[in-house]
């Protein structure tokens, strides 16, 4: 699970930046994950075209989940998976659950 890049997209990148901070903290403080090169970043949906190819996985905040098909089609050209973040986990900023789902998605893709 080395060298993973996960991008979280929302309207402006603000709400996901809070979540990214929590997710990065979990990675840093986890014995199992800290030795892996896991990069988690947030970005605004308006920058999605420039950002797509940088990531292994793009997670969409609930407010832009309606664009999943459109974004997934573009991302598919680069082999990038696109998923939407569970609204309840996003609303409660449950970074652990979102990170667990993200890592599961990436692991499943590689098998």
Catalogue the active-site residues: 10
Q: Which residues on neighbouring strands pair with residue 8, listed in sequence order?
A: 42, 59
SS3 content of the chain, % helix, strand, coil (to 5): 55, 20, 25
- Classify residue 2 by burial, with Cβ atoms within 10 Å: 0-12, 13-18, 19+: exposed
The CA distance from 67 to 16, in Å, is: 16
């Amino acid at each position: 699970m080395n060298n993973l890049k996960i991008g979280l997209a929302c309207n402006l990148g603000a709400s996901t930046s809070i979540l990214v901070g929590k997710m990065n903290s979990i990675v840093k403080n986890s014995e199992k994950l800290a030795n892996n090169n896991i990069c988690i970043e947030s970005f605004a949906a308006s920058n999605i075209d420039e950002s797509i190819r940088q990531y292994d996985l793009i997670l969409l905040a609930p407010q832009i989940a309606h664009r999943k098909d459109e974004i997934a089609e573009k991302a598919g050209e680069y082999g990038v998976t696109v998923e939407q973040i569970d609204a309840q986990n996003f609303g409660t900023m449950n970074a652990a659950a979102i990170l667990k789902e993200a890592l599961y998605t990436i692991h499943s893709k590689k098998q």
